[in-house]
Chains A and B, each alone.
Chain A
């Protein structure tokens, strides 16, 4: 089974791109499954179901969705193998910009949209920096020049990435992405494989339920801001 990880900021067009991608790969019905990692709620399962695509959704709730991803991804792979998929695609919403769900040797796609501001690519971090392919959506509503500036800013953080423009509504561009996926390799398990990037150290008192504010309530890994005198 091939495993593909897709990640990107909320509402960037991940589901739209995955649906168009699956449509254009033309694999037999039921041979591609999706696992969605989300935080609180998600309506994506309805859209996948409508397209007859087997879907599992998990909610991370209190913890960072990417931490949640790592702790569940191998189980997801086992589910995919048991279901007899040829391909399993994971969709996760990167929220903290600091984490990324990419695994060494596993094909990784970052989806961002043109509307999120020209400098956004320079702020996203590992989510963008470590992706194999960066998909840019919503190019149908901005000018060619803005698309080019956006692609330039992506290259600034991920010089080696392939940048593909996809229209999430019409599917234009998804064909080239499907071609890239042919490089994805077959796997049976992820055991002992490694994340491309450490997830943030986050074991402070607030991680474990503290709500009170002030020095005396802060314990564990803390990073304090430096305020300079004017």
Chain B
């Protein structure tokens, strides 16, 4: 629909019918304190009865309300084809901190996991930044990031409107005063999700599977443990966020099944970058980039030997988890536990 068509919703339809067909229009009315206008009239008729003084408080006249209404409906009508469809990302090398070229051009496809390793200060976060802003040779590194093989102009970069990349890190918390269910429902609403109920349910079950300790839909999100929060964030990113790229910055001690977590994201056809010092995460990726002195010095495929050792690393990791749990429960640590 184009903007002209939305105006017919305000002139030809009673507000009652409008709200039935487009529930989100209720928010538009509430935002302008118009929730109690007569619903049997059309919006444009009902506005005739509204005190202009109230509209003026919002900087609007009657015509302005109608124009805002059309903009609002246009913004919140899901596009038929996602404008953010990304099937591949290509990173073309720039310069490292000493000004030497990075000899690299790497194309990454949906469903692939790339780990980024290197000492602190080497430039891992800088690389994630370049990806987030779709650098076109205009950041300090001079890197270029192509989407679906093509360069983007500034207008296209702006159009992404921050929706290209979802982020996850150790420092993130929930701050809203909502239960897990309310929270997921709210996110589903903001994503204009169809079948919201099913998606919320799926998300909840999946988060519980990833979390060590189980939680209920009525638990307040602010009361979740670190592990539970991380699990909910990952499940939510997988099922609810429409960002095609996920950047994960250090989730080492999250108290969740990390490998299962990133595999879940990959299964949802996302491109995943994990900046990490954790062998388990690094080897669960398809490739890993090594960063030194601000430059990507190599991209390694995960070798068969490495894949074999993943099993052993996972066992080590489980052992550590058992030790942590015992500590938490006030039990003793014995050498036997390490021998399993």
Which positions in A face B, CB cutoff 8 Å? 98, 114-115, 117-118, 122, 125-126, 129-130, 139-146, 148-149, 151-153, 155-157, 159-160, 162-165, 170, 172-173, 175-176, 179-180, 182, 196-198
- Expressed in whole angstroms, the Cα–Cα distance for A160 and B175 within the complex equals 27
Pair B168/A144 contact, Cβ less than 8 Å: yes
Interfacial residues of chain B within 122-172, with CB under 8 A of chain A in the complex? 125, 129, 132-133, 138-139, 154, 157-158, 161-162, 166-169, 171-172
Pair A179/B157 contact, Cβ less than 8 Å: yes
Pair A115/B28 contact, Cβ less than 8 Å: no
Pair B133/A145 contact, Cβ less than 8 Å: no
Pair B173/A144 contact, Cβ less than 8 Å: no
**B263 neighbours in A (Cβ, 8 Å):** none
Pair B173/A142 contact, Cβ less than 8 Å: yes
**Nearest chain-B residue to A26 (Cβ)?**
B140
Partner of B241, one of A126, A141, A145, A180: A145
Pair B28/A156 contact, Cβ less than 8 Å: yes
Given contacts A142-B172, A148-B187, A162-B161, contact A156 B240 (CB under 8 A): no
Instruction: Say yes or no: is B198 at the interface (Cβ < 8 Å to chain A).
Output: no
- Interface centre among A125, A146, A151, A163, by most chain B C-beta atoms within 10 angstroms, is A146
User: Could you give 25 example pairs across A and B, Cβ below 8 Å?
Assistant: A98-B57, A115-B175, A118-B176, A125-B58, A129-B59, A140-B169, A140-B171, A141-B173, A142-B173, A142-B175, A143-B229, A144-B168, A144-B233, A144-B236, A145-B240, A145-B241, A148-B241, A156-B28, A156-B72, A159-B71, A172-B132, A176-B157, A176-B158, A179-B157, A179-B158
Instruction: Say yes or no: is B325 at the interface (Cβ < 8 Å to chain A).
Output: no
Given contacts A159-B71, A170-B125, contact A146 B139 (CB under 8 A): no
Interface size on B, residues (CB 8 A): 46
Given contacts A179-B154, A180-B158, contact A144 B241 (CB under 8 A): yes
- Expressed in whole angstroms, the Cα–Cα distance for A118 and B158 within the complex equals 24
**B169 neighbours in A (Cβ, 8 Å):** 140
B240 CB to nearest A CB, Å: 7
Partner of B162, one of A140, A160, A164, A197: A164
Pair B31/A145 contact, Cβ less than 8 Å: no
**B190 neighbours in A (Cβ, 8 Å):** 148-149, 151-153
Pair A155/B172 contact, Cβ less than 8 Å: no
Given contacts A141-B172, A145-B236, A172-B129, contact A165 B28 (CB under 8 A): no
Which positions in B face A, CB cutoff 8 Å? 27-28, 30-31, 57-59, 68, 71-72, 74-76, 125, 129, 132-133, 138-139, 154, 157-158, 161-162, 166-169, 171-176, 183, 186-187, 190-191, 229, 233, 236-237, 240-241, 243
Given contacts A144-B167, A157-B31, contact A149 B173 (CB under 8 A): no
**B72 neighbours in A (Cβ, 8 Å):** 156, 159
Pair A162/B172 contact, Cβ less than 8 Å: no
**A175 neighbours in B (Cβ, 8 Å):** 129, 133, 138-139
- Expressed in whole angstroms, the Cα–Cα distance for A118 and B37 within the complex equals 26
Pair B236/A143 contact, Cβ less than 8 Å: yes
Pair B157/A122 contact, Cβ less than 8 Å: no
**Nearest chain-A residue to B240 (Cβ)?**
A145
- Expressed in whole angstroms, the Cα–Cα distance for A204 and B125 within the complex equals 54
**Nearest chain-A residue to B229 (Cβ)?**
A143
- Expressed in whole angstroms, the Cα–Cα distance for A12 and B132 within the complex equals 23
Given contacts A144-B233, A163-B161, A173-B132, contact A149 B172 (CB under 8 A): no
